[in-house]
Structure 1
Amino acid sequence: MQWVNGQPSATVPITDRGLQFGDGCFTTGQSAQGVLQQADAHFERLMSTCQKLAIDGVDWLRLQQTVAHACAQSNQEQVIKIVITRGQGGRGYSPAGCQQPTDIVTLHAFPQHYYQWQQHGISLATTERQLGASPLAGLKHLNRLEQVLLKRELDQRNKLSSATVDDLVVCDLFGNLVETTASNLFWRQGADVYTPALHYAGVDGLMRQRVMAMLEEIPGYRCHLVQQGPDVLDQAEEVFITNTLMKVVPVNHIDHLSYSDHTLASALQQRLNAC
């Protein structure tokens, strides 16, 4: 099911700048029991990103009502994606004359394999492809070609190998760990937990923020934002990934490295399930 500017629709004008230039932002959340989970955090992210992208005039009340209506369509778990573009514009890059942003709300089936991942863990591989340095680092904007190419690489890799992997770990142009194609990365050594600082690339995911806040509440653990290369994973005792839909997923393997300790990932899962 889809809604555009509050109305049931599956089309947008070809002049929309989201289509023409990727001029906009989005968030992806989980609808459960008829409501958007962590709704305040999703809307705060959208508002903050629109402010940083100088997208004005979003009808936030209408968008919130559309999201509530969409989620109320079913009590089952669903994925809800909310997209905001700058709206319709001319051929060139200039946003002059763009008066009315476009908001798009879509519902999708929930990926059931995420529950398997949470319970049994996943395998990752590193890639030589790197993410470019960007002043938009941290934002969930619509320019996702790097992730598209990474997903294509993952698909091709799994077609050619009997040892399939679930995702790729990617670095920035400076060789610093950033994330996977669709999740944030954490690793632990003793009581010290590390996650990439995302100064130059990557998305500051809502579950990343939530896990970092939870780590401040769990006695004994310290969380560090770092700029480090993939060699640090050699010394890690535990690795896990996060995003809003999969929440916390333990990692069993990265290339030739194996991780059997999922202590912190399990503790975080228990806390999230108790919320």
Structure 2
Amino acid sequence: MNDDYLVAITAIPARDPVLRGRQGIPLPLEGGLVAYPYAGVLPSGLGETALATERVRYVVYRRGTRSGGVIVGSSAFNGTDSDRAVLSRLRLAGAGAAGCVRPLSFTSDQSGHVDVDAARRAGFERYGYGQSIASYPPQPFVGPGYHCQGGIGFRVEPGETLLRPWRPQGVGTSYLTHDGITIKISGPRKPLSRRDPQNPDEHPMSLLHESRIIYYKSRGVGPSYAPAGVREDDSWSVELGLEENSRMEIAFPPSIVGYRFLQRLEFVSKDDPRCGRDFSPSANGG
């Protein structure tokens, strides 16, 4: 997964009939692998991932065998020979291959003991907001820069950090941090737009719906959705958008930082050049 395309891979369970329906011309890959275009059924129990939704998929396995394969989907696939650029990144790896990332690696201690409970929580406790750790780069982007989200854009000032989902994930939840204060920006599902298309100076706060500025009081230590023993902070929430199921929510702890951030918001068009790449890859590790 990176900022240009997403890759999803799932192993084919033993004796799963998923290989039936294999079709197309084989695409030899380096390292003794071969890929076939695949339009058959997906393994049972596969969740709603990019692998399940992408139309172009491949089944890849060791050349000369018909078992031990994986199904690969990517937002970069288009069914042409250019798909080889993604597929060529696959390599055979033994059971103890050095450097391989394994699901529970980051929750084990120095002795190798795995804390299963910690593993279950790791996906949503790293940033404390219920988001999958795989949806984000390993480190936040560092300002200055510009970020566009659902028809709304804003500057990221020098010294601020922005944690946003990888681009192929689409609109998600972003976190802007200023001097230790984090502002959460969620949604919207559909891009927001001016109420008055003829007014180029309209501010996004015009989309405030029925005074949807809400103060949430802290409920103490360890509420149901907070890590055990951690106090839930009180917070403000501002909702922008007239459509009930597609609004942008901006949440922040009581601070002038949050309200000053609201002043930065502005409407952006889908072809606004500032939205093309909001930060320099070289400055943020790729």
Greater Rg by CA: 2
Q: Which structure's residues are more often strand, by fraction?
A: 1
In terms of fraction of residues, the more helix-rich structure is 1
Would you call these one fold, judging by a TM-score over 0.5? no
Q: TM-score range by the shorter chain?
A: under 0.3
TM-score, scaled to structure 1? 0.27
Does 1 or 2 have the higher relative contact order (CA < 8 Å, sep 6+)? 1
